[in-house]
Structure 1
């Protein structure tokens, strides 16, 4: 019996990667829905600026959700797809504070921290599995999100 999957990666390591990618998928999905809520419900003097930024962010997140799900499929596993599963594993929790711009940006920064930690963990697992596809994806996400942390932090004057 082969210990390699269809793309030539160790099956045990691929299963571990797929499981962790499903955790990332759950976190991204909750992050996405929170950001949609911020976009819909933001109020106050920075409404126009934040409304646009939140839309840019949720559009980026929906692309990442699709890429992560497709990577799980590429590894030979199934992406989870319902919020009941997502709520069980996501470290990002559903937001209830959606109208205050400052609180929304703080929530976004906390969500970025969560996803960055998880993506760095995935980067290490992918490297150990010699999985360049997942490594490249995580490297790109980390680079992009570190810059976004800087930008959102600057908005809060941090």
Structure 2
């Protein structure tokens, strides 16, 4: 494979993207869970908001996995892989709506940190497609975290 990025850099980028994929999939599952189980006076608003968010995360999972494949590596795809790679904790039980929001803010902020951690190697390897993907993910996660955070203001 000769796409202008050496094997060592491709492997390092794919490894980082695998962590991003695991975080994204874990947050997708958490958001979908909260969509199904939210209750309270903000039910309709949160139910619809969470649906929009998990749909976006579902599309992102595919984009990230396909970038890993384009770099010549296999994308992780099992719960065991994701549990080993993610830095986002699973929800315990069914939290109250406000705690769901707080957990999702933390999840999106975690994804921002995971994505930011990949810019150095992508830049060093002149891997613009990965850098572009990371920029798009950051824009989405920062905006979503801001919107969710706004719901927590008194």
TM-score by length of 1: 0.93
Provide the rounded CA distance (Å) in 1 between the counterparts of 2:40 and 2:11: 46
The aligned counterpart of 1:78 is: 74
The answer to whether structure 1 residue 42 and structure 2 residue 48 are counterparts is: no
2:83 to 87, 93, 105: 87
1:109 to 100, 105, 112: 105
Deviations 1:54-86 (A, max 9, x none): 000000000110000000000000001000111
Shift of 1:121: 0.8
2:10 to 14, 17, 21: 14
Provide the rounded CA distance (Å) in 1 between the counterparts of 2:16 and 2:95: 32
Structure-2 change in CA distance of 1:81 and 1:33 (3 Å): same
Provide the rounded CA distance (Å) in 2 between the counterparts of 1:71 and 1:127: 16
Report the RMSD for the aligned CA atoms in angstroms. 1.2
Shift of 1:89: 1.8
Provide the rounded CA distance (Å) in 2 between the counterparts of 1:121 and 1:97: 31
Contact 1:6 1:76 in 2 (8 A): no
Aligned pairs for 1:1-158 within 5 A:
5-157=1-153
SS in structure 1 opposite 2:118? helix
Name structure 2 gaps, 5 residues minimum.
none
Equivalenced residue count is 154
Shift of 1:98: 3.2
